[in-house]
Each structure stands twice: as structure tokens, then as C-alpha cells.
Structure 1
Amino acid sequence: MAYGNASPGTPPTGLPAESERHASWLELFFDLIAVAGVAQLAHLLHGTPGGGDLGFYCLLFLAFWTAWMCFTTYGNVAAEKVHTRTVLIGMFGLAVMASAVPGVRTDHAQAFALAYLLVRVLASRVWQGRGEVVADWPVAQLSVGVVPWLVSLWAEAPTRYWLWAAGLAVDLGLTFALSRNRILARAQEEWEEHAAGDKRRARPRPAAARFDPRHLDERLGLFTLIVIGESVALTVEASSEAEWTSRLASLAVGSFVLLLALWALAVRRSCGVPLLGFGVLAPRFALPLHCVTTASLGALAASLGGAVEHAEGHVPAGMRWLMCGSVAVFLSVGLVAGVASGREVRWATMVGAPVIVAPILLGAFAGRGFPAALVWALVVVARWPWLYDRLSGRRHEQGNASA
């Protein structure tokens, strides 16, 4: 992963080419709590979700992911200097957010907002006194986006949800609007003003926080892997309560193979993003792709679990579109990541068109088929990038042999 002015694949100064660090037990525990929230969010799409349900899911997922990412950034930079108590408090905040999801549309909305405020403010305060500026992912350090969340404590639905969306939009807007150099320059100016006004309490001169690229890749990849595992768990849970028939068996096997195909595209890549090469994108671009990737997997889990209930009939339109749309979004992220990783135009055309158009066509015209047939069709779509690479490699070998 490229950071700052480093060339792709080049680690920041002072970091080894291959980091020796791995995710700690505390970090893994933290990730499991976050994914528990993703599992709760998937239930928001149960049944026949509409556009409003999907929008609400995306809003809450972004809030969960942002809160988790703030502490992931802290752990990555601070390494062994992480304050365990601080991380545990942040973990508790995420657990409250997860617990509040089932009733977030009614009496648990304030609890959800308060827990989010706790996590974000705590994640911002951990950088005080460290003399480091998270210029590559400023959301981790800035707290201006929590102001609308604070106001939402006195608002009613749907106004509170618009305030939540506004707060998240501020965070993302600042992330992309403020360049790395501008953030560092502003931090230097504030330091100079403080040093001139109060020389008795000197603070360390601010410097750019250094990410550990391999450790960050591992954390994000593990998060993606755990979300895929939760998708399998939701399908298994739904299957255990249904009557076991040949159609259910075909659907269950197809669901597992589909998730396996998506796993092959994502987990063995950088940041758990499908087809993203190592050292290609800076965090402010790679991390949003990870958010979209995992959100699409969570939505797919909900649709696969719901499809089990209709194994002997037809998939409702809303559930069908959710399933096909989730796969299309996941593969679209892979298309963007593949192009960013240096894939040629021919690849983008020959792979991109099928993986985007085919799920849309299936969502529109596969309403009369059984769920198992739809899932197996999506398996073919998900395996197309791999198959195209195999066919292209074989043609290339035959061309070299002919020459």
C-alpha cells in the first residue's frame, strides 16, 4: 500500500519491507465485536427489503465501520503502545451500538447515537499528546463530524437519521477534500501558534503518523474474512430451521460456493478488497473500498439467509434485487481495484461488462426461477474474472508456443 509520497509498494521510511507485526488478541477481539454489529445490521434487510431499508442499512453500516476503523487506525500506528483500557472502552461502545440495532428505529436510537459519540470522541482523544497527525485517514483524528450526532439526541425520526447521514458526510467530505500536505501544514501552523503563546508547556512538533501497511492489510483482510464467515453462519442458521429437500441442498451448496468465490477474490488481496494489488492505493482511497466491500457482503448474507425460506418457491423481487445487487457492487469494487492495480483496458472491458450487466439482468428477469438456480448463476458471474484470466493465460501460452 502506498503512503504519502512513497512509490507503490514502498513502505514508509523507518518501516521494514515486510512487517513482523500481526493482529493481536485484543485487536481480534475488537474485530469480532464489530462484526457482531454487522450481523445485527444484516437483520435489517430480512424479508423483502425496500429502498428505505437498504438506505438505512448503508447508513448504520457506515457508522459502524467508521467507528471500528478509527480504533483500527489507532492500533496500527500505536502498535505496542496502545492503551488497552481505551480499546476496551471503545469495544464496549461498539457492543452497545450492536445491541441497539434491533430497536434503533424506536426507543434505542439515542443509545446508538450516544455509543457512537463515545467511540468517536474517545478515538479522537487518543491522539492528543502523541504529536502525530493522521494525514492519510483524518477521520480517525477529527471530531467535527460528531456534532450532528450530538444534535440528533434531541431530534425525532426521520430528522435524526438525516443528521447522522450529515455527520458521516462531513467526515468523508473532509477526508477527500483535505490533502495530506494541507493537513500537515495546518497542524504545523497550530503547533507554532501554541508554542509562541505558551512556551512553558511545549508540545512535540507534529509529524505524519506512519501506518504499518502489512499489519493494516492483515486487519482489513481478517475483517472481510469474518464477515464472510458471518454470511455462512446466517445461511446455516436459516437452513437448520427449514425442511431439508433437494432444492434446499442445492441452494445451500450454491450459497457456500458463491461465498467461497468472493473470498478468493478478496481475502488474498490487499486490504480485503477484491483484486486490489499490494502497494497500489493510499488509505484514503483503499479504506472506502473496503467499507463498500464488507457492506455488500453483509447485504448478501441477509439475502442468502432469506432465500432459504423460499427454497421451494420464487425469490421475492426485493430479496432478488438485494442478492444480485450485492454481488454486482462487490464485483464492481473489484473492477475498480483491478484497474487501479494495472489491469489493461481489454481486461476491464471483457471482465467488467459481464460482472456488472449479468447480475442486473438476473435481478430483472430471474423472478420465476428457483432460488438455487439464481445463486448458481451468480456463482458463474463471480468466477468469471478467474476464468477469463485462465483463458487469457492459456491463449498467451499458445501464442508463445506458436511463435
Structure 2
Amino acid sequence: MNIAFCTRSDFLSVRGGDTIQLLQTRELLQNSYGANVDVVADPEKLNAADYDLCHIFNIQKIEDTKAYLTKCRTAGVKVALSPVLWDFSAVVSYTFMVKRLSACQLSERRIDLASRLLKLLAGVVGMPTIYTHNHREYLRQTLSAADLLLPNSVEEADVLARLSGLDPDELLAKTRPVVNAVTVAEPKPATDADFGVMNHLPSGYILQVGRIEPGKNQYSTVKALMDDGHLPILFVGNQRVNPAYFRVVEELGRRRGNVYFIDEVPHEHLPLFYRNAALHVLPSLGETTGLVSLEALGYGCRSVVADGRYCPFETYFAGFATPVDPLNYGSIRKGIFAELATERDMSAISRRIRQDFSWDKAAQQTHEAYIRLLVG
């Protein structure tokens, strides 16, 4: 079986969840199932006729996706899509609030007002594209053109139907969900440098791992615990994605006190931070999965996540973590304290995460979907 994995040109320099999904799936398809998988990061370099199937990852790169689809259709080659898509309207609206209006205070009313304003602007200038008719039509055409849809969850499939306006049953007929996965490795022994970092941190902190940016909503984590200064908060993540937002979060943390920031660290060092945390919190405004929360659970760290409007909660976190409304500071605070008080067998949860959300399982589901499409 010859397969082309078609992706964005910067998939290696700007590594996201789609990068990890592509590389891990490719390795296992080749090693465990004998498939030949080439990665194509430029539509101009795709010779679709050389392959039995073209698998496009992350349809948020609109022009690339259109070009890949055109080449596949011209060659008469079957197309699979891993959309990696959610309703990111809250992320777009809040980022607009922060960057253009210097407004970091979050509420449902504020997000609604920002969304309304952006829809008006999009109707005039065509930006942001997520609010335009053209974007909806793009989704309709792209999803209709695919022979196979491989979303990360049933919830993502529902979001795709809603955003595109397509018949959910039509999409469901060619949908085969493939779980997103995490690698939970055996923790490496802590080095002297690691102990040096940990010695400066109090134990039992509230941890949030991820880029410091509006969509990840670190401001709300601090705001929710503003009056609970006895609880340490630790942010581990890239501070240069949105420097202005980082400065606001940093200043709020300084006013609260007992808030710590560590810049992005190598992935293999993260288990050290999970092991020493009271819990991990991610009140994100949009996640196709929420891999860092899944990873935290895999290492036995309690987790608080955004509710099902903002991530596929039922597929990945039901029974494992506490959901919160990321637009409500009171909900985030209540969820943190509720999770801290909940009796959980974290060793059993860690085993379930490793079993249910492994790359072996993701590759198996992908391969079975390919066979079903090609063989019938």
C-alpha cells in the first residue's frame, strides 16, 4: 500500500499536534503494517498517481488543502482527511480582544460581543475567514470531496457538520474516528539541573503546560485563583508567541503572588513537572483534543479541562477529569477545588490512558479505515 501524507510546509518547524500525529502514524504504518508512506509538504511536489491513497492532515491550511485535493481528483486517487478542526471562534474572538482592544477580562457576554463585531468586520473585509460565508463553503466542498474522514472524535465530526452545514448522516457514513494519542514514557531520572529548578518551586502547585497565548487562557487560571494565594501556580510554556499577553499574565501573577513561570522545556522534561503537581488545569477556548491534559493524566496527574463546548470531553476525559466553563472564573475555581477533593485511582486512570489512547491503537484504526475504503 503506497500512501502520501500531505501536510503543511512548516509541519516540522512549527510542530503541533498534527505533526506528532502524522509522524507517529507514519512510523507505525510502515513498521507494523508494511505500508510505504511518503510525507509531502508542498502540493507542487505531489504526484498523486504514484499512490493508492492521499491522506491530508489539518485542513486549516486552505490553499494547500485545495491544491492537494485538485491533484488527487485529477489523478482519480482516493482521499482521506484528518481535519484537525474545532470551533475556534472563541479563540479568534478572545485573541482579537487581547491584541486589538487590550481587554483580557473574560466573560460569555464579552466573547459574544467580540464575535458579533468580528462577524460584521468579516462581512466587509473578509477577515477573519472563520466568520465568512466563503469559509463555510470551503468546508462544505472539502468535506464533500473526501472519500474518508478521520476526525479525532465523534464530537469533532459533529462540529464539522455544524460548521459546514452538511447533513450529519452524510458525513457519518464516511467517518471513522481515530483517537489522538500520547506517548507516556518511563520517567527519566532527575538531573542536578532538574533538582535546581524544582528547588525553587513550592510543592503541590497548580500546573498549566502550553504556549502562553489567549487561546490557552492562562489569564483566567490566575484570575480564578486570585483570592487563593496559598495555592502555587506554575506555567510552563513558550512565552514569546504573544509577548503582550504574556506580560499581562505575568503582571497579574505578580499582583497575586505565588505564581511561577518557566519557559518552554524539552518534552522529555515535562514528566518531572507533572509528578510534582497537585493537578494540571487547561481552561482552553478550543482544543481538537487537549493533548497536554491527556498526557498529564497518562503520568498520573489530576486534570481540569474545558467542557464539551471547547474540546471533545466525552471521548477523552469523561470519568477522568473535571470539566469547567473557561469563560467563567468561578467555574474554573470551583472545578479546581472539586478535582482536588475527588477520590480517584490515578494509577488506574494512567493505565487506561496508555491503553485507550496509544499510537498503536491510532495506527490500527487508521489502517483498518484505509482497508475498508480501498478494498470495500
Fold match by TM threshold 0.5: no
Rg larger in structure: 1
| TM-score normalised according to structure 1 size | 0.29
Specify which structure has the higher proportion of strand. 2
Specify which structure has the higher proportion of helix. 1
Relative contact order (alpha carbons < 8 A, sep ≥ 6): 1 or 2 greater? 1
